Amino acid sequence: MSYKIRALRSEEIYLLDTFIYEAIFQRPGVEKLPKSIIQQPDINVYIKDFGKKTDYCLVAESHAKVVGAVWTRILGGSTKGFGHLNNETPEFALSVLEEFRGQGIGKSLMEHMLVELKRAGYAQASLAVQKDNYAFFMYKDLGFKIIDENEEEFIMLYQF
């Protein structure tokens, strides 16, 4: 499958609603969560008012359709994400539409975003991943290290 990676266009920000829902790890064989879950504050923080100076987003496009997205935000104050470390560390969100998974798109998006964040001068980036999410192994292969965990998630850090 051919695809290209490019920056999200401002008129496409609405797509993050779909991609944040798709980013929620939903275990096989379990009833899917309702799409309204993205309105919960702890999830909506990843997309609400997206487009600030410290917000970055890349998408994978195949045949004029956006099939994946990776974005980072610096979340702080009362708007902390699941992988929040501090107010200087961008936190990742990654999503590939279900029918396009397993083709290397997510890894490619992550690699491109790591280059962008390094170019922007960041010292590190973080993320949270469910312990049984297969994406954990991709993050580990990319160089993310586990720095903390709770009952359900690993908190991972990438240092440039």
CATH number of the domain residue 152 falls in: 3.40.630.30
Q: How far is CA 111 from CA 49, 50, 58, 60, 86, in A?
A: 25, 21, 11, 12, 22
The model's pLDDT over 94-141, given as tens digits with 9 standing for 90+, comes to: 999 999 999 999 999 999 999 999 999 999 999 999 999 999 999 999
Alpha-carbon span 9 to 4, nearest angstrom: 14
Handedness of CA 56, 88, 17, 52 (dihedral sign): negative
The β-bridge partners of 94 are 70
Handedness of CA 39, 42, 48, 51 (dihedral sign): negative
Pairing of strands 145-149, 153-159: antiparallel
The model's pLDDT over 10-54, given as tens digits with 9 standing for 90+, comes to: 999 999 999 999 999 888 888 999 999 999 998 999 999 999 999
Looking at residue 79, what is its pLDDT?
73
Domain coverage including residue 73: 4-159
Instruction: Give percent above pLDDT 90 in the chain.
Output: 87
